[in-house]
Structure 1
Amino acid sequence: MTPSAASAPRFPTGFSWGTASSATQSQGATPADNWWAWEQAGKAPSSGNGNAFDTLYASDFALLAEWGFSDYRMSLDWARLEPRPGHHDAHAIEHYRRILTAGRDVGLTMWVCLLHTALPVWFADEGGFLSAKAADTWARHVNFIGETFGDLADGWMPVNNPTAYAQKAYLTGTFPPGHASQEEFLTALRTIHQADFEAALVLRQGGRPTSTNEALLTLHPADDSADTAGIAALVDSVVWDSWLNLARTSRYEDAFDQYGFSYYLSPAISASADLLPYPAGSPVGPQGYVAWAPGLGEVLARLHKELPGKRFLVAEIGYGGHHDTARATYLQAALGHVHDAMNTGMDISGIHLWTGVDNYEWLDGYDVPFGLFDRKRAPRPSAHRLKTLMHRGPAAGKNT
């Protein structure tokens, strides 16, 4: 049963409600990026033209603004902008400038991401973030983006889910380049996180806020053995310490104005490092995990403890699957955990939903919908429920 709107929490005035997307997922892959070759090799379904965002972006923004959303996060496709090293495509630049302008024209706060999975082929061929030239190449790209789009970006989220990216590309091999090397994974993990923090230092000089988007979860040991406890501690260190250690250094302690994160699951973990659905016996979604809202509460509690006094953003949360009643129930429960965390004194600026309009879901193609709206832009019942929650406003006489 879906909880009633009357029992839902009320959020303060100024709390931001956003949706998030990425270039490849909404525009489709391009021959200039390494995801295109991944598709051509049969390792992922065809992305086609994404969800037709390239032609429908203005009406999409108008729809989201009318629905009550205040923020929109998108990525600028590096491969489209720089299809060859040192050559920037004027058409792509103008297209992205038109997109950002259209969002701002309807009142959306536009957050810009510089890297969301796909790399230019030429950079990938050099070794990507394992290349000795990676830091210099990335710095040049960051400077170009800041100079070219700084007047239209309202906020920066430089790298999407650095840990998840490194894991899929270099450890499990499910994303290009498809490697399975612990050594490469640890190198990429360090390099990509440093790239994220370095980009934030540069971009925030333009006066716009910066935010991380870490893929966070809490782990639940599958048994009481010492081996399982040891593996859980190791994986936990990868998920959390890989970026927290940077955030606590003197160089990077002020790189980000807020710490954003994505939350989808809080799995159990076995002694062999297998991630298992948690809680056991709960419905497992099409991507193999349980959409468990209390796990969001666990992540928030840990962030509050690890980074006291900092500001946070739920930068990505969503429900994948065709069961829309379950989506509405899950999202309302998740909002409750955010509200509870704020009541403990945690400074949370807003929530960005994944996603507004159904898009391409990487290895799942178009089979796992996450959107509040389908690809025909028809709202699902969960969109109506969320709209009601967003428009409730703060409780009279209470600072909630």
Structure 2
Amino acid sequence: MTSPAPGPSSFPPGFRWGTASSATQSQGATPADNWWAWEEAGKAPRSGGGNGFDELYASDFRLLADWGFGEYRMSLDWARIEPSPGRRDQGAVEHYREILRAGRRAGLSMWACLLHTALPAWFAADGGFLAPAAAATWARHVDFAAEAFGDLVDGWMPVNNPAGYAEKAYLRGTFPPGHASQEEFLTVLQAVHEAEFEAALRLRQTGKPTSTNEALVSLHPADASAEAAGATALIDAVLWGTWLNLARTPRYEDAFDQYGFSYYFAAAVDPSANLLPHPAGHPVGPQGYAPWAPGLGEVLARLHTELPGRKFLVAEIGLGGEDDTRRTAYLSDALEEVRRALAGGMDITGVHLWTGVDNYEWLDGHTVPFGLFDRDRTPKPSAHLIRSFLRG
């Protein structure tokens, strides 16, 4: 049963509404990154020019601002900026600077992500985050980004979904380099989380706020067995414990001004540690999971308990597929969960929707749209739902 849609007045003054995108998904892959080779090898559909953002960014920003959005999170593609070790492409740097300027001219606060899935081909060839020199190489890039873009960035989100990246690239092997090694997965997961937290320490020196974007799932044992409970606890320790342990260390306890996260689904864990759609019988979407809004409420409640007194950002929520009626209902229910958390005293600074304009969806190409607007920039019914909050 669908919850009644919360009214615009349910959200406090100053609550921030934004959308998010990534370079590869909106601009398309570049020969300088490892996703390009993945496409060339036939392991993913061609991204082409993404959704045309490279040409349409200024009008996209005006559209979003006119609709009522106040924030936009984009990624500054490391491969485009540094196509070979130590050589920065000044044309790419200036192009990103102009994109940031255009967003700010439109009235948007611009948040920048420095790593969203695709890696420079040369960095990947050296072993990526498994390489001994990875931390130092990453730190140099972070420092360069702070210097090159810090005057135009309003907030930093250093790494997008570390757990999602590590799992797809090193456990399931569906993203480059296509490995399926539990040992490598755990090593990369720890390394990328540390890269995320170290980057935040460096980026805070620009005077701009920092946010995580953790991929979080509400986990439930699939049955009443001790084996299912144990498997759930194991996955929980990896998915939640890896970054929470860092957040609680003295070195990193003030690295982030807020803790942001992406939520797309809850999962049941069977005795063999397989993730299954949850709740059982709930409709499953085209990517194999069951979008379930109450799971967002469970994630929010846990964060409020795990990190008391901190600020939070719902950094990504969305629903993929052609059925925008379902998307509209899901977003209405999800925003009701956010409203409840706010009413319960949780300090949530805002919500970023994934995504504004339909874009390239990695292994699904353009077949699983998430946008509030289609690639012709025509608003869908879900966009009108969101506008009722933006103009409330």
1:71-110 matches, cutoff 5 A: 71-110=71-110
- Give 1:279 shift: 1.1
Q: CA deviation at 1:8?
A: 6.4
Deviation at 1:273, TM superposition (A): 1.6
Correspondence list, 1:189-268, <5 A? 189-268=189-268
Give the whole-Å Cα distance in 1 for the aligned partners of 2:376 and 2:269.
39
Give the total of aligned pairs. Answer: 392
Deviations 1:326-379 (A, max 9, x none): 111110111111111111110000000000000000000000010000000000
Q: CA deviation at 1:380?
A: 0.3
Report the secondary structure of 2:229's partner residue.
helix
Shift of 1:389: 2.3
Partners in 2 of 1:326 and 1:304 — Cα distance?
A: 28
How many Å separate the matches in 2 of 1:8 and 1:86?
Answer: 49
- Give the 5 Å matches for 1:1-400: 10-392=10-392
**Does the C-alpha gap of structure 1 residues 4 and 247 become closer, same or farther in structure 2, counting only changes over 3 Å?**
closer
SS of match in other structure, 2:373 = coil
Given the superposition, is the C-alpha separation of residues 56 and 250 from structure 1 closer, same or farther in structure 2, using an over 3 Å criterion?
same
User: Unmatched 5+ residue regions in structure 1?
Assistant: 393-400
Percent of aligned positions that are identical: 71
SS of 2:159's equivalent in the other structure is coil
Contact 1:28–1:47 (Cα < 8 Å) also in 2: yes
Using the alignment, how far apart are the partners of 2:148 and 2:62 within structure 1? 25
Code of the residue aligned with 2:345 in structure 1: it is G
Alignment RMSD, CA only? 1.1
Taking the aligned partners of 1:288 and 1:172, their CA distance within structure 2 comes to 14
Letter in 1 for 2:325: T
Q: In 2, distance between residues paired with 1:345 and 1:11?
A: 12
Alpha-carbon distance in structure 2 between the residues aligned to 1:179 and 1:291: 27
Q: Which amino acid aligns with 1:98?
A: E
Structure 1 moving runs of 4+ over 2 Å: 1-9
Q: Which runs of 5+ in 2 are unaligned?
A: none
- Kindly state the Cα deviation for residue 95 of structure 1 after the two structures are TM-superposed: 0.3
CA contact under 8 A between 2:6 and 2:336: conserved in structure 1? no
Report the alpha carbon displacement of residue 121 of structure 1 after superposing the two structures with TM.
0.5
Map of 1:396 onto structure 2: none
Contact 2:19 2:352 in 1 (8 A): yes
Deviations 1:190-218 (A, max 9, x none): 11000000000000111100000000011
* TM-score under structure 1 length normalisation: 0.96
CA offsets 1:209-254 (integer angstroms, 9 cap, x no match): 0000000011111111111111110001111000000000000000
Aligned-partner SS, 2:256: coil
How far apart, in 2, do the equivalents of 1:148 and 1:52 lie? 24
User: How many Å separate the matches in 1 of 2:352 and 2:224?
Assistant: 36
